[in-house]
Amino acid sequence: MKQTWRWFGPADLAKIDDVVQAGATGIVSALHHVPNGVVWSAEEIGRRQQQIRVMTDGRQSGIEWQVIESLPVSEDIKKQKGNWREHVANYKQSLRNVAAAGLDVVCYNFMPVLDWTRTDLRWPLPNGASCMRFDINDFAAFEIHILERPGASEAFAPEVVAEAARRHAALDDAGRKQLARNVTMGLPGSTESMTLEDVRAHLAEYAGISPDRLRRHFVDFLSEVVPVAEEVGVRLCCHPDDPPFPLLGLPRIMSTAADYRYILDAVDSPSNGMTLCSGSLGARPDNDVPAMMDEFGPKVHFLHLRNVKRDTGAIAGSFFEAEHLAGDTDMVALIAAILREESRRKAEGRADAQIPMRPDHGQDILDDLPRRAQPGYPTIGRLKGLAELRGVMTALEHRQYGLGG
């Protein structure tokens, strides 16, 4: 695997120097300052590439921007409203521009309104570390009592509704505002934060959009952009819903193997692929993540390797971001499946035999704790995760090629 590192640009507390010292060989980044739906210009792309190539003291870093995460799909495109046709045309031009700059992997998602959802961004662990957590009871408290979405209580089990009422009553005004900020934080690095009124307005616009209709909109989008991606040599890879179950009454269409099967078959192209995120998919107990790697391997263009620990076996339940080797996904089995796919690609002579991966998320440990970096993206926590994943990879490669015991 290509070992990459997500970097949010010059404002990121993790510097390019840190990435080099961590041993990553490539960068995952995006132009977060460019509004959704606007063309990524050649100038802005080149500026980000140059920022990655230079360390703090001016020396060359020796690493390059390898994966775009994300080139966002605007809400207008998802809803097919407003300027959606212009946004699709702009997306095509952005693909041409990134390809001209030598970038060939573009991660994106098709999640309505919020790009990921957690209820606690710094949940304390028994060992003194902290991590992100999704708590179904806290989320219900937000949706029912803070957002006050009509009919929200019907989406939860009676015991969750009762616990949500208790938790909401125990919160003071500051606690309620903090929970709302946590839930609506959205995409890391994005310039687009949302107020409760923004969320309510988006929900109202999605009121008539069923999962089947959103899926049709997705296929329409892919039918437009995939031919351009194929023409310029870009591999698009859709990130799964995070978490992979319905929230806020919104349609979720990229949560299971069946969802990916449908989309990959609907627009069958080497340029229409998957970002396999073991943390997002692993938050749902009926997703067998290593089996999904085996099934979709030829079209997996990017890997997020992280782990979560679920509280229960419920489809829509609570979970927290675990250590990379300590959650509910069998990370050793998953990495073995990835290495099998890479071996198969190498035998076929594919140019993309090595799949880019990054150690996704991480727990805040040691000096991460006072630094308070972007939630989910601490430097030391991710370094630990990368080291653990690298150890598994090395051990499996030695066993595969007879280099060790």
Catalytic site positions: 239, 277, 304, 360-361, 377
| Contact call for residues 132 and 120 (beta carbons, < 8 A) | yes
Structure tokens at 124: 């304390």
* CA neighbor of 237 nearest in space, from 262, 288, 271, 287: 271
Structure tokens at 200: 């309510």
Query: What is the radius of gyration, based on Cα positions, of the chain?
Result: 21
The DSSP output letter for 336 is H
Q: What does the alpha-carbon distance between residue 69 and residue 31 come to, in Å, rounded to a whole number?
A: 9
- At 18, is the secondary structure helix, strand, or coil? helix
Looking at the chain, the number of H-run helices and the number of E-run strands are 15, 12
- Tell me the CA distances in angstroms from 41 to 104, 166, 276, 339, 383, one per residue in order: 16, 50, 28, 36, 32
Q: Quickly list DSSP for 3-16.
A: EEEE---TT-SS-H
Under 8 Å CB-to-CB from 90, ≥6 apart: which residues? Answer: 37, 38, 39
